[in-house]
Chains A and B, each alone.
Chain A
Amino acid sequence: MGTPVTRVNPVAPEDPRLGLPPEVFATAFPFHLALDPDLRFVQVGRSVRKVAPEAVSGVTFASVFRIVRPEGDATIHFLRQNQSQLFLLEHIASGLTLRGEFISLDSQRLMVFLGSPWLRSALEIGQRGLGFDDFAVHDPIVDLLQLGQAQIMALEDSRRLAERLIQQRADMRRANDQLQRQNHTLRTTELQLRTSEAESRKLALVAARTDNAVIVSDAQGRIEWVNEGFTRTTGYTLMEVAGRTPGSILQGPRTDPRTVAVMREKILQGVAFRAEVQNYTKGGRVYWASMEVQPIHDASGRLVNFMAIESDVTELRQNEQRRQLQHSVSRALAEATSLSEGIARALKSVTTSLEWTLGVFWRPDGSEHQLRCEEIWYEPREDFSEFSRQTRTRILAKGEDLPGRCWALGSAVWTKEIALDLPSPRSEEAARHGLSGVIAHPCLLNGEVVGILEFYSARAEKPEAHVLEGLDSISAQLGMFVVREAAKLSARRAGALQQAMFHSAAHALTAVDPQGIYLTFNPAAERLLGYSAQEMVGHESPLRIHDPDEIAARAAELELELGQPVTPGMEALLARARLGQEDERDWTLVRKDGSRVAVRLSMAVLRDENGQLAGFLGSAVDLTERRNAEAAMREGREAAEAANRAKSEFLATMSHEIRTPMNGVIGMNDLLLHTQLNDRQRELAESIGNSAVSLLEVINDVLDFSRVEAGKLKISSETFVLRPLLDSVVEVASMRTPEKRLALAVIVAPDLPQRFCGDPLRLRQILLNLVGNAVKFTDRGSVVVRVNSAPSEATEGRIRIEVTDTGPGLSPQESRAIFEPFMQVDSSAARRYTGSGLGLAISQRLVELMGGQIGVVSRPGVGSTFWFELPLIAIPDSDPPGIHQPLWAAQFEVATADATLAESLETQFRSWHLPVSVMPSREALDRIGNAPKRPANTPCVLLIDEELISAEENPPVPPGFNHRILLVNPLSPWVRRPAIPPGYQQILLKPVKQSQLFDCLTSALEGQSGTARFKRAALQSSGSPAAGDGHVAKLRILLVEDHRTNRRLCELMLESLGLRAEVATTGKEAVDAVQKSRFDVILMDCHMPEMDGYEVTKRIRAREATGCTPGEPPVYIIAVTANALLGERERCLDAGMDDYLAKPFTTKQLASALRRRPDAVSGNLPAPKSASTSQTPAFTPAQPRQIADELGWDDFEGLARDFLTELPIELGRLPVHLAAGARQELKRGAHSLMGISLTLGLTGLAEILLQLEKAAETSDPDRLAHYISELSRPAEQGEMELREWLRTGRATELSPG
């Protein structure tokens, strides 16, 4: 509800009561003017009178005021006309402006002006002689003035504010500057302070913590402060030493008094000095102190303190002493000319260096039971002759006297009172000379005591540790010296023996020094060569007796062998021996009389006792007689081989000559069978055909055999996957006699690698023969192919393949003869089974050619196992075996009574690391229904052998399994029926191939239709033309491609897969070809002039739809296009094609597209590769390298060079198409060039071609011309790089390795 509206009576617009009395009018309008029609003043307002006193009645308006606005003359007419206008009147005398309006009072014949002055500031009021009273109260001019004034004040405030701000900013800046300066000063000061503090702290810390001992004393040398280092070194604390002099605490008997005197003098002088002196620690240990003493002066230069820094250099001193000792002994031994001299000099060195008095060297005698004095040494100034005599005559047993004890212990023994500890005449004699301390030290070599050192001293002090260490090393040196000298002696004796042998040897024995000059030349060598030892030794080298050509040839050979330069001289004879390698070979030597003699010469290196090269020993045997015998044998063998080869070549030629007309016979007979024949004629013709095929097989065998025999068969080496090869062999064999219902199986050891390097074709031939034979001769039971690593160590790296059958078996005689050519088992079998009888002989030859062995183990009535072992190189699997996720999670059970099938499946599952269990009987299968339920979320797959259930119409459906697969024989009714049994997902054909098993399991678990899988299995096993695993069967292929190079490339790839294709170069040719012939596959280029691939496909599909091809499945069309554009694949599929292959592609990709053929709808097609990348290099070698590898270098290079020749012409066509407005041709041209460019690695060119192709239909000509102009640079650059790559690639390919 709204506010209530109060109704009021409207006020009349002009109420006559409002007529103003004159005095009210005058107050309300103090600035009014009233004019008569002549525009003379009739009345003037009181305030006007103040500013314009001349405006009085009768005076004309125009003489007092000027009309400023609106513009016009001051006439009554003008004023009347502008009644509603705002007038500005200027008072002529004062310049004051009045603002207001003219109102015509017609009844009074008056023109009235109502207004007020226009003032610009309040000050003007006073200046005009006016006051507020002169204005009507309602006149807003005063308000305006006040407002204006407020604004002026506000402005003034703003100005002040701004000034204040400026000033404050200036103040702040000054303050800031000042602060920064202060800050800088502060920082500098602080830094200096810190540095000096740190320096002080560091120094204090150094003094306190240094390992050196630091002593601060007063000017008189009394200790004021010592650091921790001092306490550590001496054992004295500050408390203990403060106030005392260092000398009074630290010095002792061994301190050198001369050094002490010098030090004292320096302290008195107050100067710095360095000194080394022996001091004593608190515990009495003597140590060498190296000290640096500095006087410290105060500011006035007065000596106030000394600071001494001492370090313990005992170890340095001792090391030095030990080194000197070792050095002097080494020198003594090195310079000695005899054992006794060496020992005497060593004894002297040790005794004098260590300030001992006398030294003895004892040595165990040969019997190792007694110790005898070998040498004795003492200062000659004292007479130790009695002691010496007693020592030399003394023979000590182990443990006797000090040396005997040392010998027994094998370590040093010491006593300080020998006369008391071990009284004997000898020790008493020593004591008489004042000698009491004795040390005995063993000389050890390899742990054996070879001598004892014994030293006597007047000091009864235990030798210090460093002295003992020094003795250790000296005695070791001395031990070696003694043994070496003894060995030299025996060597001299042995030399005489060798000499005798050397002279009486029947072989020519010679030795040369490292430079090749003869050292010896034995009498046998003299006899062989006619030179005397005198002529040769010291003068000649073996080059004198060698043929220089042979030497040069050997040098070249060695360079290759050793990979290092070998000069054609002595090095050719010695290089291998020098490397420690065996070197025995035949040479022709030249006798002194110029005649030649063949010898077998072996060279060996000679080394001295230090292992250093001393020369070479040559031993030569005369080969003349042996050579003669060999030559006779060789001649005989060559004659026999030539005859055999001639026979084989004859056979090969004959077989070939027979085969050609045989092919004719078979072909013609085939044509004959396609004509109208009556039953009898057909029977005869079929008989001709069968006989001809059998004959051809025999001829093929003969041909193979003769090739092998003639040495014409070469074994190739390539990588192949073993399992598919085995599967295909068994599959082929199984199809020969399906009615026998043999259990065929392949069992490959799970740990065997998948890929090998070898000759797969020949391996397949051997296997086909062995498995074929097994199937042929076995009527019931099984044929199993087993593959393992060869069992024994001797055959390591080989694989062993066994083909075991349950056939009639062989007698031992038959087993022995079975590999002979043309061998047939027996006459009755020969009648039953056709064949050349060459199969096993060929297999044997092939196995031997491959470096393997073949054999048979057989028992009549039980069966045979044919086995062979081959040295195949295993290729490590690049990827771990990939098993789909669904398989990992699943459980598998196999129900079969066929042990062979069970084993083959079990092995297969094991190789995939999948768990499987086997139910061996129907009863076991029936029990499944009663078994406890399996976890619901675990997929369980059951594979049931048809043989368990064959009697029933529909196989049973055991519960508890998510998936059931029926294993069937090729003759099973389920193979012929269109449907699979109810409750089953898949049917799997026996013998079970690995790939099929995998596919079958995967699709069962992924829930795919079993029919498609079944179809595939059936098609493949019936030998229908499908590209199988590992090999590609014969396919009828039509290749539709307009570009020459592309076409040739594709043909080469197909050839490498063992396939040939019919070729169509236009769409029309393709359509014609399909009408004339039946094809399995069409490889369809999409972009062709006139009729493109999409159109061709549509026509082919239309023809198929009209029923022109009854009974034939639709042809499988694979789109081949370089169009990597999005949606291209869909476009191809929409047009009716089955698959899509993006250029560039590899042979492998082509093969896999062909292999995908039966499953075109699986959608598992390669994703089109994006061709558009920025910064693309002109040439990218990855693609061409792969294709060159696949095709072989020759073919690839030819292809590439042809293309490069044609490239400029092809590029030249593009601007012509553009100029002619032929956009489609331009697009096609760009497209086909792009495809081959990518294939050849010209990626830079391909990228611009792709842009050109994309833009060809829609863009403006300028843009297209731009693209075309952009092509030349990447084309040239790419061509250059491709040619260079071809050149270097060829070189790489030809280089070894």
Chain B
Amino acid sequence: MYGLVNKAIEQMVCRHHGEAAWEEIKSRAGVEVEVFLSNENYPDDMTYRLVGAASEVLKAPAEDILKAFGEHWVTYTAQEGYGGLMKGAGKTLPEFFANLPNFHTRVAMIFPNLQPPKFRCTDVTDRSMRLHYISHRAGLSAFVVGLIQGLGKMFETPVTVTQVDFRERGAECDVFLLEWEPRSPA
């Protein structure tokens, strides 16, 4: 997993729960990494353990935590490094999603060792679309939901996310239905 993801977990926990909580989580997760490198590939297992430990320490379901992480990732973490690029990727939520596959393609191109997920947009309308999330990793759909909601906040477009297909239930991939209110042109 991309170090940026773990970093997001760290930042979010530290910001809302303090460093002691983070150290406790790391300790429970058996993680001894001091500083996560954004572009480094870390074992997926580490992320899962961190999420699991955070769930225990913060006493919240893992799903909620993943969601919160996703949102935080977009609103804070990615802004630090990718703010410019994210802004360049579109002025609106649909524009952004339209560019998202290219974005991840470029990530895969630059860091061949990372295995970023693939995104595909279908059934795009001015107020909805289906986002296909294709990843070899399981159990992160809540994280994706959080990401999407974060993006909605970023583009000031409240978005409703409904997972319509579940990989864990045999679907080819996770599919999310995104719905938003069209924004009046500024």
Contacts and interface: CB of A to CB of B under 8 A. Distances in A.
A130 B81 CA distance: 19
Interface in A1043-1062: none
A142 B80 contact: no
Interface in B75-106: 80-85, 87-91, 95, 99, 102-103, 106
Contact of A157 (B36, B84, B89, B111): B36
Given A122-B84, A156-B81, A150 B111 contact: yes
Interface string B21-41: 000000000000011111100
B102 A137 contact: yes
A125 interface: yes
B179 to A, nearest CB: 23
B88 A154 contact: no
B109 interface: yes
A157 B4 CA distance: 10
Contact of A125 (B35, B37, B88, B103): B88
B107 interface: yes
Interface in A634-677: none
Contacts, number: 81
Given A132-B89, A143-B109, A143-B110, A149 B37 contact: no
Contacts of B110: 143, 146-147, 150
A131 B88 contact: yes
B22 to A, nearest CB: 13
Given A143-B109, A153-B38, A156-B38, A132 B102 contact: yes
Contacts of A150: 38-39, 81, 110-111
Interface string A112-141: 000000000111111000111100010000
Contacts of B83: 122-123
15 contacts: A122-B85, A122-B87, A123-B84, A132-B88, A143-B106, A143-B109, A145-B88, A146-B110, A149-B81, A150-B110, A156-B80, A157-B38, A160-B35, A161-B35, A161-B37
A1114 B112 CA distance: 97
A384 B31 CA distance: 117
A150 B81 CA distance: 7
A389 interface: no
Nearest to B96: A132
5 closest residue pairs by CB, A with B: A122-B84, A125-B88, A123-B84, A153-B81, A153-B38
A975 B156 CA distance: 137
A131 B80 contact: no
A125 B81 contact: no
A125 B103 CA distance: 15
Contacts of A125: 84-85, 87-88
Contacts of A124: 84
Contacts of A153: 4, 38-39, 80-81
Contacts of B84: 121-126, 145, 149
Given A137-B102, A157-B36, A132 B90 contact: yes
Given A124-B84, A132-B102, A164-B35, 7 more contacts: A122-B82, A143-B106, A146-B103, A150-B39, A152-B81, A156-B81, A157-B36
Size class of the A contact interface (CB-based, 8 Å): 20 to 34
A131 B81 contact: no
Nearest to B99: A132
A131 B35 contact: no
B90 A161 contact: no
Interface string B97-133: 0010011001101110000000000000000000000
A1288 B113 CA distance: 95
B95 A146 contact: no
A146 B85 contact: yes
Contact of A131 (B37, B82, B95, B103): B95
Contacts of A123: 83-84, 87
Contact of B82 (A126, A132, A149, A157): A149
A153 B5 CA distance: 13
Contacts of A152: 81
A154 B84 CA distance: 16
Contacts of A161: 34-35, 37
A157 B102 contact: no
Interface string B1-17: 00110000000000000
B92 to A, nearest CB: 10
A154 B37 contact: yes
Given A146-B107, A150-B111, A156-B38, A133 B80 contact: no
Contacts of A160: 35
A137 B110 CA distance: 16
Nearest to A163: B35
Nearest to B84: A122
A142 B104 CA distance: 12
Nearest to A152: B81
A239 B88 CA distance: 103
Contacts of B35: 157, 160-161, 164
A126 B87 contact: yes
Contact of B37 (A122, A132, A157): A157
A168 to B, nearest CB: 8
A215 B44 CA distance: 81
B74 to A, nearest CB: 16
A154 B109 contact: no
Q: Which of A125, A146, A156 has the most CB of B within 10 A?
A: A146
Given A137-B102, A143-B106, A149-B85, A154 B38 contact: yes
Contacts of B111: 150
Contacts of A164: 34-35
Interface string A281-293: 0000000000000
Given A126-B87, A132-B89, A142 B106 contact: yes
B88 A126 contact: yes
A152 B106 CA distance: 16
Interface in B30-74: 34-39
A142 B103 CA distance: 9
B51 to A, nearest CB: 21
B167 to A, nearest CB: 28
A145 B85 contact: yes
A147 B89 CA distance: 15
Contacts of B80: 153, 156
Contacts of A154: 37-39
Contacts of B82: 122, 149
Interface in A160-175: 160-161, 164, 168
Given A125-B84, A153-B81, A133 B95 contact: yes
Contacts of B34: 161, 164, 168
A130 B89 CA distance: 10
Nearest to A165: B34
B88 A130 contact: yes
A157 B106 CA distance: 21
A126 B110 CA distance: 22
A1009 B163 CA distance: 115
Contacts of B90: 131-133
B73 to A, nearest CB: 14
Contacts of A146: 85, 103, 106-107, 110
A769 to B, nearest CB: 112
Interface string A63-97: 00000000000000000000000000000000000
A159 to B, nearest CB: 10
B120 to A, nearest CB: 16
Contacts of B88: 122, 125-126, 130-132, 142, 145
A1073 to B, nearest CB: 100
A150 B84 CA distance: 12
Nearest to A128: B88
A142 B110 CA distance: 12
Contacts of B38: 150, 153-154, 156-157
A700 B91 CA distance: 148
Interface in A384-412: none
Contacts of B102: 132, 137
A123 B80 CA distance: 12
Contacts of A142: 88, 106
